[in-house]
Structure 1
Amino acid sequence: MPAFNPDKDIPDLSGKVVFVTGGTSGIGKEIVLFLVSHNPAHIYFTGRNEEAGAAVVAAAKAKGPSTEITFVKCDLCSSRAKIRQAIAEGFKSDRLDIFIANAGIMAAPPGLTEEGFELQWGSNYLGHAVILQLLRPVLLRTAESGADVRHIQVTSYGHNYAPPGGIQFENLRKADAVGDFARYGQSKLAQILFCKAMVKRYPQITSVPVHPGVGNTNLLRNTKQSWLKSVLSAVSFLLKSAAELAYNPLWAATAPLQKLENGQYYEPVGKKTAPSKLARDEALADKLWEWTSNELNDVEAL
């Protein structure tokens, strides 16, 4: 397992443009604050809370005054039209080197997105798929220039707890067809499979799913899994801080390209690991890609 110190090991990022979802708190905020110290040209980050976004912008400018910082107010559980509007209004760059799909929720109570999808599916998977569809042409143009372009999905070991079959496509518009944690596992499995599908179709973009570890963030804020809260509380001394949880996504986003294998799953930090059998299922990855493409066929790229 490679040692990783983001202060020392992230290279100079001059000229690079970065987009991070869920950057107003937790892992996403730490990713923004670590990256800005290494001189990227521009960091865009999303979130729902404007006040929190402004605070991150101020903190980032203090650490990296030469980097442009832009907060994009965007709710991944809103309609695709609203997501598109938010990205179109907020993202004003002709290049994009690093896209980090970080935002997410875990074991949330039953609920539906604005368009009627299960809440965790919408937040963790589908909302990111919409953004990637919008930004993929920019990523591809950047790659065509010879740049090292990366797409990082912050997934979870929790993908192992997906329901039977992995993704229950017939139940994606039902709030509680399976338990809270199974719905979470389904969404996290989809993130891994999506990277596999991306590699097959767009190998010029390095697509890597990473597990950040288990730690002390607000991810559990909405969960009603009292047993899970109790277990994590009992072992709180073992939990990583949000900054430490950012290490693996940061490693995947910035390590020398020869240290990464496109489409592979990495546990902290930089340890290539075999994910679940379902996460290695090529047919399931293709089915997810087809479902996603059909679902988003009306989303016009930027």
Structure 2
Amino acid sequence: MTKAFGAESTTDEVLEGVDLSGKRILVTGASAGLGVETVRTLAAHGASVVGTARDLAKARRALAEVFPQAAKGAPIDLVELDLASLKSARKAGNELLAQARPFDVIIANAGVMACPQGKTEDGFETQFGTNHLGHFVFVNKLVPLLKPGARVLTLSSAGHRISDVDLDDPNFARTEYQPFTAYGRSKTANILFAVALDRRLKGRGIRATSLHPGGIQTELGRHLTPELIEQMRARWRTSSGESTLRFKNVPQGAATSVWSGFVARSEAVGGRYCEDCHVAEVNDDTTSRIGVRSYALDPARAEALWSKSEEMVGEQFSLN
């Protein structure tokens, strides 16, 4: 009988009895929070892990207690990657391609949230450029290394419910910048990217899915001012004034990543959005705090974003 997992399940509970020996997995954002925990639990279950980080020295410090926990001498390697730079994304991707060592799972975990208005190295709005376009280029570069049966996971957020993508003004050139609106756009883009990627790769037995880890207090919230925190709580407040916002600890937050990647059936999660260790239902009720908005799973919207992303990064990816 398949075990049932939920919002309070931890990474170790989800992977109990799972042997990942022989698996090679890539995790972006391996220098803090969910990334470190994801690397830890995968290595502890025998997987060979490649972690990426903008600051390798910081990643080594963050992983200092993780390295000894790797089972059976499973290696943990690090690659420099700044997702706010397409040059860095291409360089890191090309370095891994040159190694010609295939991957079983890619977990696009890294990201920024609700930061002040700014631009990436390439002139993109910071959150859309980092959370979506950086991963768009990096992951697509690595598609040739994906084994048959592999999976790609993109970490999105319940924040996708704040806003659909704006393909006419992705960089807020004509729109007043709001930190959470920009975050919502980028998180919707993470879901749509998985939808489009899944369509392109499922004929090869490779599936892509997106997921919401839950609300976790990590470095992701470094830009949250008291005003922004109140805005966030207001979105989770019921008509009676009670806030339904609940925080998970880090092992609980990373649990949906490992559930989606290693426990759930690939055909069940492919092209879908997961939360709390299950596949979420489409829910367009703006008063509800669960489920995924229909616009985030719209295949036509996903294809439009793919075309716009290729235009923005100046590179086409023919994966069919």
Instruction: Give the structure-2-normalised TM-score.
Output: 0.82
Q: Within 5 Å, which residues of 2 pair with 1:33-72? A: 33-40=40-47, 42-64=48-70, 66-72=73-79
Distance across 2 between alignment mates of 1:300 and 1:15: 29
8 Å CA contact 2:133–2:313 kept in 1: the answer is: no
Structure 2 unaligned residues grouped into runs of 5+: 234-241, 283-291
2:296 paired with 1:294: no
Structure 1 unaligned segments of length 5 or more: list them: none
2: CA distance, partners of 1:113 / 1:61: 32
* Superposition deviation, residue 201 in structure 1: 1.5
Alignment of 1:1-302 (within 5 A): 2-3=4-5, 4-10=9-15, 11-40=18-47, 42-64=48-70, 66-78=73-85, 80-89=86-95, 92-139=99-146, 142-143=147-148, 148-162=149-163, 166-174=164-172, 177-203=176-202, 204-224=205-225, 226-228=227-229, 238-257=246-265, 260-274=268-282, 275-298=292-315
Taking structure 1 as reference, are residues 161 and 191 closer, same or farther at Cα in structure 2, changes over 3 Å only?
A: same
Q: Provide the rounded CA distance (Å) in 1 between the counterparts of 2:316 and 2:310.
A: 10
For the 8 Å contact 1:160–1:276, the answer to whether it is kept is yes
Contact 2:155 2:212 (C-alpha < 8 Å) held by counterparts:
yes
1:212/1:245 contact within 8 Å kept: yes
Q: CA separation in 1, counterparts of 2:309 and 2:232?
A: 35
Question: Which stretch has the larger CA shift, 14-23 or 284-293?
Answer: 284-293
| Preserved CA contact (<8 Å) 1:83 1:130 | yes
Cα separation, partners in 2 of 1:283 and 1:271, compared to 1, 3 Å: closer
**Tell me, what secondary structure is at the counterpart of 1:199?**
helix
Distance 1:214 1:229 in 2: 14
| Residues 67-93 of structure 1: per-residue CA shift (max 9 Å, x gap) | 111111211001x22222133336634
Report the residue type matching 1:288 in the other structure.
L
Using the TM superposition, name which of 187-196 and 259-268 deviates more: 259-268
Give the aligned residue type for 1:210: L
Matched AA of 2:127: Q
- Cα 1:225–1:108 shift into 2, 3 Å: farther
Greater CA deviation, 166-175 or 270-279?
Answer: 166-175
Counterpart Cα distance in 2 of 1:224 and 1:14:
43
Contact 2:154–2:210, Cα closer than 8 Å, also in 1: yes
Counterparts of 2:167 and 2:122, CA distance in 1: 16
What amino acid does structure 1 have at the position aligned with 2:151? Answer: R
Structure 2 CA distance, aligned partners of 1:48 and 1:286? 29
What stretches of structure 1 move > 4 A for 4+ residues in a row? 229-232, 234-237
Q: 2: distance between equivalents of 1:90 and 1:200?
A: 24
Structure 2 distance, partners of 1:125, 1:111, is: 15
Q: How far 1:231 moved relative to its partner?
A: 6.2
RMSD: 2.7
TM-score between the two structures when normalised by the length of structure 1:
0.87
Percent identity over paired residues:
30
What amino acid is the match of 1:201?
A: R
Give the whole-Å Cα distance in 2 for the aligned partners of 1:256 and 1:267.
12
Amino acid at match of 2:4: P
- CA gap 1:157/1:9 in 2 versus in 1, 3 angstroms: closer
